[in-house]
Structure 1
C-alpha cells in the first residue's frame, strides 16, 4: 500500500505513518495505534503473517550479530518453522523471498527437499495392482468376449459388470502410470462389451452411453485398436437407432485409428451396410471394394485379433454383414449367396466361434432374400432354426428383422397362402417373448 492507503486502512493520519516509516526501530506507537496495527496483522492472510514473522526474525538477527560475523542461522535453528512440513508450507505460500531467505538454515532447506523427494518416490513406487491381478483381468475380458457369442446376453452382462466394477475399484487406488493405462484399457473394453450387450437387449440409449465411456477410456490409455472398435460399435448403435447419416460419420472416423486388417475390414463393412440402408448403391460398392483391398494388409492388433470374439470380425461375420447389405438394396441373389456362406461357416466352423446371434440374423436375411424371390418355402426353411431359439437368446435385432420379414409376408403375392399365415403367427409368437422382455421391470441393463 501507499502511505495514504495504509493510513486510511488503519484510520490514522498519513503524516503519522510517514513519521513511523522515517523513525524505523526508534518509533514506539501509542497503545491505541499498536492495537490497530495488531488488528490489521491478525486480519491478514497466512502469507502476509509469515513474511512479517520472517522479517521480524531477520531484524532480530541483524541486531544481535557481531560486525562481520556470519548472520546465517546455525545448523538446526529455524526461522518461524518448527518442522519440514512448516518450511515447505512457507515455500508454497511464497513467503521466503528477499531478506527472509537468510533466516532459513541451508541444511534444513536441503534436507527438506531431499526428504520430500524420497517420500514422493516411495509413494510413486507403491501400487495396488500386481502383475497377477492384471493377468487375471486380461483373462476375464478375453473369456467374456469369446463366451458372449454363445451365451445369452443377460448373464453375460452380470459378469461384465462384475469385472468392470473390480477395475473401477482398483482405479480408485494408486498404481504405476503404466498399470493405470492398462486398467483404463480394461475399463474401455468392458464398457464396449456392455454397449454390445445393451444393443442386443434393445437399449440403444444405454448402449450409446457405454460406447461414449469406452471412447473416453480409449483416449485415456491412447489405444488405437479400442478407438477404432468403439467408433464402429457407436456407428452400429446409430444405425439401429435410425440415424444413418451420423452412423456413416462415426464409421469413417474410425478408419483414422484402424491399424490392422481386421479393424479396417470391419469398419468398411459397417459403412457399406449403413450406405445400403440409406439407399446409395455407389457408396456401398465403394466400401465393399475398400474392404476387399484392406484384407491384403498384414497388420494385426491386440484387440480385434488377439482377443477376438465380440471384438473380432471373421469371414463368417463379414458374409453375414454382406447379406444384410444386399437385403437393404433389394438384391436377392447376392444376399442368398452371402447369407448361405455365413450360415455354412458358422455351422461348420469352430464351435467356440459360432455366434448364435449373427448366424440367426443371417438366417432371417436369407429368409428375406427368398421372399424377394417369391419363395415362401425357402423363407420358412431358413427361419425354422431361428424360431426355435430359447427366449433368453432372442436378441432385439432378431425381433426388428423379423418384423421386416412379416411386412414381406403381407405382400399381395402371399396373401392367400396358408403357409404365410402360419409363418406370420410363429413370428408373432417369437417376438412376444424376447430376451429383453424377460428382464424384470426396474432391472434394465446399465
Structure 2
C-alpha cells in the first residue's frame, strides 16, 4: 500500500491525536495488537511513526492492516491507496486491485488450522462411546445416564471453540452416538418423549456429517422406541428407512431382526417376518463363545441377538414352534453371557408360548425367573413384556400361581426400580 499524496501522514496524526496516543504510545499499541491478533512480533517504534506522519516513509505490511484494525477504519479512509507498488500505478494503464495484506491471509490460515481439541482427545472420546455401548446392559440407566449426560455436555461445550473441518466431523459423530445412547436409556426408563428427542438430535447430527452407517444405527434405535410405544407402523417405517442407509453393513441385521421383523409380526405379516429373519441370520456377525453383541452394537448383531428378536416376531404371528425354537437357541447364549435384560425378555417370550399351549404354571415359573434376574437392574421393557403376559393370561388368573405372579410383578415395579439421581 502507498500513502496517497501526503494525505496519509496528516490523517494518521489526526487520528492519533484524537485517540490520545503519543507517537511512542501508538507504536506500543501497534506492537501489542500484532501479537494479540496475529501472534507476530514487530519492531515499530516512535521514530517510525514520526517518519510516517512526515511522509518520509511509507507503512509496509503488516502495518497498514494493523493501523486499520486499531483505528477501525479502511485503508482508503486512512489515506492509503490500495493497489500495486509505485512502479505499476494508475499511470501505467493498469487497474487498481484491492488485494488483502499478506498478513491477513496468513492469519486466516492460522485460524483455519487452530483447534480447541486434539486428535488424541477425539480418540479418547470415541473409545468412551464404544465402552458405553459395551457396558449398556451390564450397568443400566442408574449408572450410565449421569455419566453420559456429563460427557454429552462436555462435547457440546467443545462446539463453541474452533476445530478443523475433519475434527468437527468427529465431534459430531461422538455427539450423535452419545445422544443415541441416551435415547435408548430413556426407553429403558419408559420415557418415550425424551427418547424421541435424543434420537432426533442424534439423527440431525448424522445428517450434518452425511454418514449412512450412523444414520442406520440411529434409525434402529428410533424403531425400538416406537416398538415399545406400540406404534408398530411407525416402527416398521423407521426400520425400512434405516435399511436404505445400511448397504448390507453392520446395522442391517439389527434393522431387519429388531425392527422390521418384530414390527411386521405385530402387524400380522408372517411372510415379512420370515424373509427378514432369514436375511438377518445370513448377515449376523459371529462372536466368541460366551459373549453376545451389545443390543446397540456398532459393529453388527450376533446370531443370539437375531434369534432373540426372531422369537418375538414369530410369537406375534402365532408361530409358536418357531418362536420357541429361536428363543431357546438365543437363551442358551444369553445365559452363558450373563446378560440380565435379554435373559429376562427371552424367558417371557418362551412363557407366552407355554401360556398359549395351556401350561400356565410352567409359563408363570419362567416369568418369575425373569423378574428375579432383572430385580437389581429393572428396565421398562421387562415391565412392558410382563404386563403383556399378564394381559394374555387373564383367563388363568383364578389359578394360585397366576395370582402370585400378579402380586410379584406389582411389587417388582414399585420396589425394585432404582431411582436415577434427581429423578
TM-score under structure 2 length normalisation:
0.74
Unaligned runs of 5+ in 2: 9-54, 87-96, 287-292
The answer to whether the 8 A contact 1:396-1:435 is kept is no
Which residue matches 2:186?
Answer: 198
1:130 aligns with 2:118: yes
1:278 aligns with 2:267: yes
Alignment of 1:272-421 (within 5 A): 272-295=261-284, 310-311=296-297, 312-348=300-336, 351=337, 354-389=338-373, 391-411=375-395, 414-421=396-403
Aligned mates of 2:339, 2:56 — CA distance in 1: 78
Query: Once the two structures are superposed, what CA deviation does each residue of 1:43-75 show, in whole Å capped at 9, x if it has no partner?
Result: xxxxxxxxxxx9xx79xxxxxxxxxxxxxx997
Query: Once the two structures are superposed, what CA deviation does each residue of 1:235-259 show, in whole Å capped at 9, x if it has no partner?
Result: 1212222222222211111112113
Q: Residue 162 of structure 1: CA displacement?
A: 1.6
Which residue matches 1:181?
Answer: 169
1:249 aligns with 2:237: yes
3-state secondary structure, aligned to 1:127:
coil
Unaligned runs of 5+ in 1: 1-53, 59-72, 299-306
Aligned mates of 1:346, 1:357 — CA distance in 2: 9
Q: How many positions carry a matched residue from both structures?
A: 353
Pick closer, same or farther for the CA change 1:342–1:369 going to 2, 3 Å.
same
Q: Residue 222 of structure 1: CA displacement?
A: 2.3
**Residue of 223, 234, 256 corresponding to 1:235:** 223
Q: Residue 391 of structure 1: CA displacement?
A: 4.3
Aligned mates of 1:89, 1:360 — CA distance in 2: 72
The answer to whether the 8 A contact 1:316-1:345 is kept is yes
Aligned mates of 1:295, 1:387 — CA distance in 2: 29
Aligned mates of 1:359, 1:229 — CA distance in 2: 23
Which residue matches 1:212?
Answer: 200
Q: Which has the larger radius of gyration?
A: 1
Q: Residue 326 of structure 1: CA displacement?
A: 1.7
**Residue of 115, 118, 135 corresponding to 1:147:** 135
Q: Residue 282 of structure 1: CA displacement?
A: 2.5
Q: Residue 131 of structure 1: CA displacement?
A: 2.6
Q: Residue 186 of structure 1: CA displacement?
A: 0.5
Query: Once the two structures are superposed, what CA deviation does each residue of 1:215-273 show, in whole Å capped at 9, x if it has no partner?
Result: 11111222222110101111121222222222221111111211344311111111110
The answer to whether the 8 A contact 1:261-1:295 is kept is no
Pick closer, same or farther for the CA change 1:126–1:262 going to 2, 3 Å.
closer
Q: Residue 343 of structure 1: CA displacement?
A: 1.0
Which residue matches 2:144?
Answer: 156
Aligned mates of 1:279, 1:82 — CA distance in 2: 74
**Residue of 81, 87, 96 corresponding to 1:103:** 81
Aligned mates of 1:127, 1:439 — CA distance in 2: 36
Query: Once the two structures are superposed, what CA deviation does each residue of 1:72-105 show, in whole Å capped at 9, x if it has no partner?
Result: x997279x998243899648xxx89xxx999335
